[in-house]
Amino acid sequence: MDNEFVIKAAAYCGAALVMGLGTIGPALAQGFIGSKACETLGKYPESANKVRLLMLLAMGFVESLAVYCLLIAIILVTT
């Protein structure tokens, strides 16, 4: 077996693990954020603008974690 092949295979497996496991948390968090925002809008419809702003801000922070996982996976695959 060629040493370079083993290194490439390990990098691809690592990238798959990073993308698979690293996006579970952000996906669950985004669902939770959306759920709580909908509950709050149902209880207090007059606060729609504040809730929407805070929800989009929180979604952006959570999504950045998934983007970091994507960047790590790209680095693993291209090196």
Q: Could you state, in order of their start, the residue ranges of all structural domains in the chain? A: 3-74
Cβ(37)–Cβ(51) below 8 Å: yes
What is residue 2's three-state secondary structure? coil
Model confidence band, residue 2 (pLDDT cutoffs 50, 70, 90): confident
| pLDDT tens per residue, range 43-68 | 999 999 999 999 999 999 999 999 99
CA distance 77 to 12: 6
Using CA atoms, how far residue 54 sits from 7, 9, 20, 43, in Å, is 43, 42, 27, 16
Q: Is the pLDDT of residue 6 over 80?
A: yes
CA distance 56 to 70: 21
CATH 1.20.20.10 fits 3-74, yes or no: yes
Element (H, E) at 24: helix 24-43
